[in-house]
């Protein structure tokens, strides 16, 4: 019986192949990183793209990294796992736009992530983003987390009320709604 090689040559990579690989063995991580109290915004939104494989396929991830021109490969020998990680916002936006037309399973997450990146723009810090855009970013991050099966958006975070610009927790926001109804 002829054996089909697992390794894929660089000349075999296409945007459609990468999108299919991402749909199956990739992830789009959206987190809100707590910042120091010296910053006006409590959370900084962060996005990350991961492609994960068994450690024996790390060479393929190296070639994928070269094809995409982004990220770096991390090896976790304790878990026999290799992971291509892309964290730079410019690279993430470029890679997501390349994959978007070919995605099936993670298309909604990618659309939301692109929206987050466009709202952030070239701002390095969140305090340069308008309150309304910051609130939209928080909502998009929450939606991405809800669409991701493991995180499920379980961890709550403080959101910003765009009308008052005061920080609200989910509970105080609910109390405000309850008071306005009665």
pLDDT in tens, the chain (182 residues): 554 455 555 568 899 999 999 999 999 999 988 888 888 888 889 999 999 999 999 999 999 999 999 999 999 989 999 999 999 999 999 999 999 999 999 999 999 999 999 999 887 777 788 889 999 999 999 999 999 866 555 555 554 444 444 455 555 555 555 554 44
Segments in the chain forming alpha helices (H): 15-25, 58-68, 89-99, 107-120, 131-147, 170-181
Our count of domains for the chain comes to 1
Query: Is there a domain that residue 78 lies in?
Result: yes
Query: Is there a domain that residue 56 lies in?
Result: yes
Query: Is there a domain that residue 41 lies in?
Result: yes
Q: What H or E segment, with its residue span, contains residue 10?
A: none
Q: Range of 114's domain?
A: 10-181
Indicate which CATH number applies to the domain containing 95: 3.10.28.10
Query: Is there a domain that residue 4 lies in?
Result: no
Query: Is there a domain that residue 123 lies in?
Result: yes
Query: Is there a domain that residue 25 lies in?
Result: yes
């Amino acid at each position: 019986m002829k054996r089909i090689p697992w390794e894929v040559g660089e000349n075999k990579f296409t945007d459609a192949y990468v999108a299919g690989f991402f749909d199956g063995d990739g992830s789009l991580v959206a987190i809100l990183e707590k910042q120091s109290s010296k910053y006006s915004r409590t959370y900084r939104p962060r996005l990350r793209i991961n492609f994960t494989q068994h450690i024996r396929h790390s060479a393929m991830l190296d070639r994928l990294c070269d094809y995409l021109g982004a990220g770096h490969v991390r090896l976790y020998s304790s878990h026999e796992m290799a992971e291509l990680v892309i964290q730079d916002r410019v690279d993430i936006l470029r890679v997501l736009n390349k994959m978007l037309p070919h995605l099936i399973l993670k298309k909604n997450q990618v659309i939301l992530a692109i929206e987050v990146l466009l709202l952030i723009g070239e701002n390095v810090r969140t305090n340069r983003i308008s309150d309304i855009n910051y609130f939209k970013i928080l909502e998009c991050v929450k939606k991405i987390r809800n669409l991701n099966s493991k995180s499920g958006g379980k961890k709550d975070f403080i959101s910003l009320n765009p009308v008052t610009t005061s920080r609200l927790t989910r509970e105080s926001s609910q109390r405000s709604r309850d008071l306005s109804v009665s």
